[in-house]
Structure 1
Amino acid sequence: MATLQHMSTAEDIVLANFKNGKLQINDKAGPSSNSPEFTYYKNVDTPDERLRKRRILVAKSQSLQYVGYNHGPEAPKANSACKYLVGVLDKKTNKMKVYDAQYYQLRPWLHNDMQPDQDETDQPTEQTYIEKQDALTEAFGSLRKRRAVDSRHKSKVSNEAIEKSAKVAVTIAKSQPTTPIKETMDSEGVLPCCDREATKVEDVYKLDDLVAPHLLEALKKVSGKFCNANIQRIQEWQKQKTYSSFVLDHLRTLANEPTDEKQKKAAILLYLHNLSIMYALKISDLNKKIPFEGDTPMSVKKHLLDSFTQSTLVGDGSRQKRCLPKRMKDKMISHALVLALILDDYKTKLSPLQSAFKVGVRILESHARALGCRVTSIAEVAEGGASLPSKSPTAQKVAELSLPLRITYTPKKKLGGKKR
């Protein structure tokens, strides 16, 4: 039987246990290739004997730090009820020396503020009053108050997201076309630039203000199929409903025009055709590949999208979504009417445009009057050569631009309510 001898030392022997399991120190067994470095801390700056007994054991491995205490809530619960001893047996003399021991349970330490190499700038900032209130609510508040705090935190927008959204908005604003604004332009930007002081009807609305010269030149290069279209080709397009009656009616008269005038009118017709395609699009189709005319130059497509659609930010501001509000649709109708007036020497029928844009004739009339046109009805010849009255439902509406201008705006009707 071994003889026991209790030994007293200045410091108790340290016993350590890793709470998460056995620490692997073998290369093949785990990520830590070396034994951890242990450091033992004690409080020597206080005269209080109770505080001087507090110890902290730190084990530092390649990837983590482990910390154990002999005091406080992190200390093992059994320390207050148990006394730990370590026995060392001498097999030759069969005597065992018994030493007092301290038991520590080491836990991974994940807080960066306890790392010795941390800079002062990385120290946690002092909490604001609201943050302290939120912390108390999350710890001791009722379920309703905790839900309110959680909802507010989810709705909070970070400064980084705001700055990112602002940068995207500035980028969109810079990409928008910069058209010089004239005094005669209407406040909502629906009507084209108008020179009310013009002495010639040709100078009231200029083609360059609607279609820039470089865009017109780009359209001329791809308008050969319009310039060279014969009767058979036009009839085939009419049968297949490839183009509207407005475009086809003008193509029938292009053969008699000079070459330069023919290319100019063909380019305008191609522009009008793409404008009617955009007008008929649904909101869901705006962000897909728009079916423009196949040969339309990319610069013209970009001009149409930038001039007649609006871009809005969605999500966190990283994506753009195009929309086509009613104001932009009105802008398309006004531009199409002016281009039709230029093609028809400032006197055009509204029925072909009505079929091209699928709008009511009254809408075209109100836009024509807002542009300064005079809208009249012309009698059509019925079967047998009899002339129908100008007020007949089948009479043609004609918009004519002449000087002096007769610009009138149709007031918006009030919705709801009873007349008194």
Structure 2
Amino acid sequence: MATTCSIACCKEESDSDKAVIVRFSNGNVQKAEKLDFIMYKSTDEVNPRKKNRRMMVAETERISYVGQNFGTSSLKCNSLCKYYVGVLNKHTMQMELHNAQLFNMLPFVPGETAATANPKDTDLTYKEKVDSLIEAFGTNKQKRALTSRRMNQVGSEILHHAVAKAANSVIDGKGLEALQQEVAETELQAELALYLPPCNKDAAVPENVYPFDELLSPADLKALEQAGSKMAAFTSEDLQNMKDSGGSLSVVKHLETLPSDGEARDKMACCAFYLSLLIKLSRQKSVSRKFGIEEGCPRIVQTNLFRTFTVETFNNGKVQNMVSASMRAKLAAYCLALLLHMGHMTADLTLLHRDLAISEARVIEVAKSMGLTLAKPPRAKDTEAGLHDKHKQTSLVLPLVKYQQFMERRKRKKMH
């Protein structure tokens, strides 16, 4: 029957009880019993960084080996791992575990000391040392590559200094605050250009600043004639039912004031129907392929709406049209531009933010980004029923208003 052994835990070990594992860097030792091992420890036992320094020396008849647990030649695994050595007592059949430390034994050549080494070599990086080896022992191909790389490095440094000099001259000429303001305005214009309708800032009349054909193309306007005629035939009761059922208040407002002229009336009705589609689209996240079909939306108009105001995503192998946050801002801008054409370059921001189900501050932000003029609502006195509803109006006046971006940070409230 095979005998079993048990593990015995040792108490706190001294330096003499700790095991040492050595590894020779230049090969395997054939006769380890002929090696004389001596361990040296640091004499500075007060300094916590030096009191644990050890040096292992192995001497043979031909060469000596030196290993240490500090410096560049030490093994990094001593700080990352903890090693143990088991010693089996054959009489008691108990195995004792001792802490172990690894030493990498390197051959020691007499006469090659740190004092004779080149002091410049300690300041060189690994890449610079490799370049020195290539210069001395590299092939012609490696030397040509090294020369080309150094030439490119010199060229990049010259370019960097030239760019830095030009940047400093620009900063000295314009000033740091002016440059920061220009960068902020450029970033703001780039961000707004993603969702604002096409704008002609040099237009002579307000109607041409945001061209109507860019909002609703002639082909789409002609396709909406049938749906617009049905909406123009709404009675006062139909409009009241539309209000009660949560319909668009902006659409109802313009349907109540349709012009009597036949051509202008038809155009206004088509615009009202298209505005209702935009408002309905802004309230949805995922848009189905049947969007607007029940209301009489032509297929060509639906395709253009999907292409302009939705983002295509893949879900379970199917293509879905999603209305992202940036697309909602784009819808708000197009709705506002369309309302300007429908209301003689004046629009009601309060009704629009209620229809789009977004905050009033967001609608005002869109109006400012379009360069519109904001009109403060008139002060109303208290009545018996309560306060009068104050609607914020906006209008397009030339030249466009250029609002300054608020760059300061809000002060934090003090905690009492």
Given the two structures, how large is their TM-score scaled by the length of structure 1? Answer: 0.48
